[in-house]
Amino acid sequence: MLRTSASRVLDDSDRDEVLALLDTDPVANVFVASRVRAVGLNTSRLGGQMWGFGPRGGLVSLCYAGANLVPVNATPEALHAFADRARRQGRRCSSIVGPAEAVERLWERLEPHWGPARAIRRSQPVMVTRSLPHVEPDPLVRRVRPEQFGVLLPACVAMFTEEVGISPDSGDGGALYRSRVAELIRIGRSYARIEDGRVVFKAEIGAVTPQACQVQGVWVDPELRGRGHAVSGMAAVVEQAMSYFAPLVTLYVNDYNLPARAAYRKVGFRDVDTFMSVLF
């Protein structure tokens, strides 16, 4: 059995080994892999630390410790090591998210020290599609232009508040969130149907690797729901994602959000895994 002491903070010298481990499951690891490919493992650029379990040349598990705590390929021994490091460091993240079994075990060890959580989403189906949409894409869903930031931002805030349960304006007044929205627009990964200054549908491609990309922030104006905008809008996003970013499109969704899950299935998504999120 590997000892807890095998847990260590990784750096750019570990990059190739880290990416090789992340690539063993490009769907589950798309968020972390996207970050590492974009900025490497230097803590200041990564926006957190990458913890490794196992010796150099023999990494077994990882844990991204930034705004989110994300276990990767985490064995029981690794989870013990990561929980011990997280407990000693103190909570710095706003959530723990990842494969359900790993997050459940991590939270069991951290709850006595970090609890209670604000919310726990124990079952979040991970969905994927490898094929072009099964339905007609909405031709009015297009990349958001930088000058449309002011129109899009309120819809993003509404989506975040509805999904997470708190406003992204809390804490720093929303500066980091606004910066992220603007960045996704700038790099061409924000999509929306905007009519007369009103956002009808929106979604972002939040993470991209050569193998997969992850859709996030899917939202339809509450007054316009039930009219098929989510289905045709997602079809447009999937078509664009496969054309410009990666051959596989993935997302995860709360199990109780039955309308969203049904819409994604109509587009061609299918369930492949289950995530869990612990929100603070």
Task: Work out the pLDDT band at 227, boundaries 50, 70, 90.
Answer: very high
- Classify 253 as helix, strand or coil: coil
Task: Work out the pLDDT band at 4, boundaries 50, 70, 90.
Answer: very low
| Residue indicated by tokens 């232009």 | 145
Q: What is the DSSP letter of 145?
A: P
Q: Which residues contact 170 (CB under 8 A, 6 or more apart)?
A: none
Task: Work out the pLDDT band at 38, boundaries 50, 70, 90.
Answer: very high
- Classify 126 as helix, strand or coil: strand
- Classify 211 as helix, strand or coil: coil
pLDDT in tens, 18-35: 999 999 999 999 999 999
Mean pLDDT calculated for residue range 106-114: 97
Q: For position 189, what pLDDT does the model report?
A: 98
pLDDT in tens, 136-161: 999 999 999 999 999 999 999 999 99
Task: Work out the pLDDT band at 5, boundaries 50, 70, 90.
Answer: low
Other beta carbons within 10 angstroms of residue 70's beta carbon come to 28
201-222 burial code (b ≥16 CB/10 A, e <16): bbbbbbbbbebbbbbbbbbbbe
